[in-house]
Amino acid sequence: MDIPDDLKQSAYFKTLGCRIVRLSEKGVAEVALALEPHLRNRGNVMHGGALFSLVDIAMGLACSSAHGFDKQSVTVECKINYMRGVADGEVTCVATVLHAGRRTLVVEAAVHQADKLVAKAQGTFAII
């Protein structure tokens, strides 16, 4: 997709250090995040909030790719399950729109580190 960077990357996206891996016109987005020192929690692994932010960013991009970057959508609710900690390296999140209605979208996401599932999430987004 040929979308200007300012429509794909917010200041928060850049602050976290996210990187777009894939963005399709069919409601799919893949975003990567490398574990940097500022993303570690007191247990010295990636903070759950950083993982949640990655999920929310990927889901938002998936929504935008589904309904068009000329519209905005916002998170109404999101539930996440964490399966394992991330002590080093990079994780990727693939978000897929399951339902794109006129007013809301339902999206699921999976975060992996290599072949290991780190977290799974589902959210609802409202088109504004």
Quick check: 11 pLDDT over 90? no
Its pTM stands at 0.93
- Superfamily classification of domain 5-127: Hotdog Thioesterase (3.10.129.10)
pLDDT band at 127 (very low <50, low <70, confident <90, very high): very high
Q: What is the pLDDT of residue 19?
A: 94
For residue 40, CA distances in Å to 19, 22, 30, 47, 79 come to 18, 25, 22, 5, 21
Ranges of each domain in the chain = 5-127
Higher pLDDT: 24 or 2? It is: 24
Least confident of 16-25, 53-62, 72-81, 91-100: 16-25
CB distance 111 to 117 below 8 Å: yes
User: In whole angstroms, what separates CA 91 from the centre of its chain?
Assistant: 11
Tens-digit pLDDT profile for residues 62-99? 999 999 988 999 999 999 999 999 999 999 999 999 99
pLDDT band at 6 (very low <50, low <70, confident <90, very high): low
